[in-house]
Amino acid sequence: MAAAQRHRLAVAGLGKIARDQHLPALARSEAFELAATADPAGGLPEVDHFDALERLLAERPDVTALSLCTPPQVRYPLARAALQAGRHLLLEKPPGQTLGEVEALRALAEAAGVSLFATWHSRFAPAVPRARDWVAGHRVERVRIAWKEDVRRWHPGQRWIWQPGGFGVFDPGINALSILTAVLPRPLRVVSATLEVPENCAAPIAARLSMTDDAGVAIEAELDFRQEGPQTWDMAFEGPEGAITLQAGGSRLSLDPPEGAPAMIGEYDAIYRRFAELIGRGESEVDVAPLRLVADAFLVGRSRPTEAFHD
């Protein structure tokens, strides 16, 4: 039987996340072929490149799918143009800078008859499904999240992250919230929040959130962009029948033997597999639950100024 033809896909926005994750995953993909890129700052020597997405959409009708990896502040008009041009669209997280933008894109995708995939890559970490299975069989009373990393290591020189719509510490913190909303079975709400905002920035460098659900689960999250040395991406689920901890961003479970979990497919490889499935089924997947928690944290949170941040 002949192999299925791969989708020709373009990547728009060739920043760190595209180069570190999307391009390697696409090189391994059996479903997608990297056919073009778009970025005003330049492209790859071996791939057809455009300095504007509008030119790519006009000149490459054979490109049927697009991965949008730009900062959230400029994403909506680009996503809108791609959907109106009839291209299937994958959105790097966060899917937009506001809930309204994402809901509008969902409606545009439906009207255009194309697939829209708002990705949450941390949900594809290997231990997350096993944590969800454990939680389904145990009563959870408390969740503790510690998501602390060094912004200088992961976002060097990226000023957009400190500007309005850039999310600050919630850019990585939303990964924790994406896992949380995938593992716990009931909708969550933010009870209170404290946001530490550097005096020279518009977005928080650290945050503490208290959340709950209708079962009264007490959820505390500490997010910090100032972590030096070892990085921390852990969440513990505790109850009267025991506890588990998701470690290293969902890569390991505390129930694993010391050598760790068996090797599994990478997060971004799994994202592109899922994108291909959605296109094949003519479906979209747009879950805004993590983004809603971030929006609610800004709505109910108390802002506290802190010292200026400098790269």
The residues that are catalytic are 93
Nearest in space to 142 (alpha carbons), one of 233, 192, 216, 224? 216
Order of strands, edge to edge, in the sheet holding 65-68? 48-50, 32-38, 7-12, 65-68, 88-91, 116-118
DSSP per residue, 101-133 = HHHHHHHHHHHHT--EEE--GGGGSTTHHHHHH
End-to-end Cα spacing for the chain: 54
Nearest in space to 183 (alpha carbons), one of 107, 255, 131, 108? 131
Strand partners, 303: 195
DSSP element (H, E) containing 296: helix 289-300
- Rounded to whole angstroms, how far apart are CA atoms 111 and 104? 11
Nearest in space to 284 (alpha carbons), one of 85, 146, 83? 83
- Rounded to whole angstroms, how far apart are CA atoms 94 and 100? 13
Give ∠ CA 68-74-79 in degrees, rounded to 5: 45
Strand partners, 91: 68, 118
Other residues' Cβ atoms within 10 Å of the Cβ of residue 59: 12
Q: Please name the residues in contact with 256: beta carbons below 8 A apart, sequence gap of 6 or more.
A: 127
- Rounded to whole angstroms, how far apart are CA atoms 288 and 118? 8
